[in-house]
Amino acid sequence: MIQSSDRSGFTVLSPTAILGYGFPGESLKEGMKRKPDLIAVDAGSTDPGPYYLGSGKSFTARDGVKHDLARLIKAQQSASIPLVIGSAGGAGARPHLDWTLDIVREVSRETGISLRVATIASDIPPGIVETALNTGRVAALPNVPPLTAEAIADTRHIVAQMGHEPVVNALDAGFDIVICGRCYDPAVFAALPIMQGHDPALALHMGKILECAAIAALPGSGSDCVLGRLFDDHFVLEPLSSERRFTRNSVAAHSLYEKSDPFHLPGPGGSLDLENVAYEELSAGRVKVSGTRFTPSLPYQVKLEGARSIGFRTVSVAGIRDPNMIAGLDHILRDVEDRCRTSMDETSILTFHAYGKDGVMGAQEPMSTPAHEIGLVIDVVAPDQATADSGCALVRSTLLHFGFPGRLSTAGNLAFPYSPSDFSTGEVFEFSLYHLMELDDPVSLFPAEPLEIKGREIKA
């Protein structure tokens, strides 16, 4: 039976920034000594791009996730508190949810621990999204084109970022572990304290920091445990390693993390208002946070995410050190592309990334300092892998022997760090949905699915 929290305070243990990143055993031990009411962990993000959502694969290693889960399940069982996992498997679609559940089953078999598990899928059927689009209930986020029926039909997986309400429903039923599909990051940390009557604004703000674990501490780390203690009018962040501390600046600066507006943080059903938040340093590297407000939004909206295939990719990595070639590189690359285009598939996309020059920011690069060497990535995307392979090979070989003014050698222009020089990376995806959809009910699309997992008997 899950223990209930003392209403005077609520303690959440966040073990790691993303499930699978790892955490020190000593930090977990210190955290469990403090008798937390909840262990919660974020397992995903859209940060690694659309490939993982489109392909249904995880961007975290299975061995790492299993290693983390085995220790967290043991801690959860010993304390009889819930373990809540958000954005399972990285992108949180059904394949990612099933992948995570399979690991939980494996841990149960190997340890003999029986578990009451609830899964909450976040996949949204295309028909529901199309109906919402046709009835004016879908809006594009800034700098995102309007959604179309064609984009919906082309999308491999569509998920919605659920709020805390579906997680509350699952926790209210008393499950040991709740595994969520794509989820608003703070929701898995905030759901149980909100259910028990704590201020949603403070709970969600605390969750926003805890979802990154020790990243908001100094020195920052995505693989160390931290604690959040929630009270009536404030919360306190506490490091669980003697190597780290929270400071006013480190916690306040975390409001800039992945946000264009550090004072207003939108999420399902509303936004956090941080304009009047106060940060106070306490002893032992702790920080007290107060003054957070929550502004509800009507209608209730959730963010949709979807990814569609745009072809297959092949890349080649090469080094350039000839100063004359570096000086004329823009012209050389344009000339090579013009020459190759006459033989390449006309739908292929060719991109050059010149690291050391403007490989990160491209045309927006403000620096003009001459580089003494360039790392060049030749990137070809085509309708199929064979076409991408041949296109990349053509561009690579053309550039390797291309003549240019001031060329000092008739040998190759490029230095290849690898053999083979070309890499077939497989299917390529782009985000096709990054929109807001109105909901009449924040729970109806996210029902909890109960599951009893029986651990095998361990023989002495």
User: Rounded to an integer, what distance in angstroms lies between the CA atom of residue 346 and that of residue 341?
Assistant: 7
Q: What's this model's pTM, rounded to 2 decimal places?
A: 0.92
pLDDT for position 262? 85
314-362 pLDDT, tens digit per residue, is 999 999 999 999 999 999 999 999 999 999 999 999 999 999 999 999 8
pLDDT for position 8? 60
Instruction: Give domain status of residue 130, yes or no.
Output: no
With beta carbons less than 8 A apart as the criterion, state whether 158 and 304 touch: yes
Q: Alpha carbon of 1 to those of 63, 172, 248: distances in Å?
A: 30, 12, 38
- The mean pLDDT of the chain is 94
The pLDDT of 139-143, averaged and rounded, is 92
Q: Does 447 lie in the same domain as 366? A: no
Q: Does 291 lie in the same domain as 183? A: yes
pLDDT for position 251? 96
Q: Does 292 lie in the same domain as 261? A: yes
pLDDT for position 369? 84
The pLDDT of 112-137, averaged and rounded, is 97
Q: Alpha carbon of 248 to those of 68, 237, 260, 279, 289: distances in Å?
A: 30, 11, 20, 5, 9
The pLDDT of 379-398, averaged and rounded, is 98
Q: Does 266 lie in the same domain as 384? A: no
Instruction: Give domain status of residue 460, yes or no.
Output: no
Instruction: Give domain status of residue 5, yes or no.
Output: no
Q: What number of CA atoms fall less than 13 Å from residue 231's CA on the CB side?
A: 9
User: Rounded to an integer, what distance in angstroms lies between the CA atom of residue 90 and that of residue 421?
Assistant: 30
Q: Alpha carbon of 203 to those of 31, 40, 198: distances in Å?
A: 19, 13, 7
pLDDT for position 411? 79
The pLDDT of 36-49, averaged and rounded, is 95
Q: Does 177 lie in the same domain as 108? A: yes
Whether 1 has a pLDDT exceeding 50, the answer reads no
With beta carbons less than 8 A apart as the criterion, state whether 177 and 76 touch: yes
What single letter denotes the amino acid at residue 235? F
Question: DSSP states of 39-93 as a string?
Answer: EEEE---STT-THHHHHT--SS-HHHHHHHHHHHHHHHHHHT--EEEESTTTT-S
The backbone torsions φ and ψ at residue 415, rounded to the nearest 5 degrees and listed phi first, read: -110, 120
The pLDDT of 156-184, averaged and rounded, is 97
Which residue would you say has higher pLDDT here, 12 or 7?
Answer: 12
With beta carbons less than 8 A apart as the criterion, state whether 406 and 418 touch: no
Q: Does 279 lie in the same domain as 219? A: yes
Percent of the chain exceeding pLDDT 70 equals 97
Domain range holding 230? 10-122+161-299+440-453
Q: Does 43 lie in the same domain as 27? A: yes
Whether 413 has a pLDDT exceeding 60, the answer reads yes
Whether 2 has a pLDDT exceeding 90, the answer reads no
pLDDT for position 7? 44
Instruction: Give domain status of residue 166, yes or no.
Output: yes
pLDDT for position 259? 75
Whether 3 has a pLDDT exceeding 60, the answer reads no
Instruction: Give domain status of residue 31, yes or no.
Output: yes
**Percent helix / strand / coil, the chain, rounded to 5:** 30, 30, 40
| Helix, strand, or coil (residue 249) | helix
Domain with residue 395: its CATH number is 3.30.70
The pLDDT of 442-455, averaged and rounded, is 94
Percent of the chain exceeding pLDDT 90 equals 90
When divided into structural domains, the chain yields a total of 2
Q: Does 371 lie in the same domain as 269? A: no
Task: Note the helical H segments in 155-219.
Answer: 164-172, 187-195, 200-210
pLDDT for position 4? 39
Q: Is the dihedral of CA 30, 31, 37, 40 positive or negative?
A: negative
Structure tokens at 269: 């059903």
Q: Does 54 lie in the same domain as 23? A: yes
Helix (H) or strand (E) holding 397, with range, is helix 385-400
The backbone torsions φ and ψ at residue 19, rounded to the nearest 5 degrees and listed phi first, read: -55, 125
459 falls in which pLDDT band (50, 70, 90)? very low
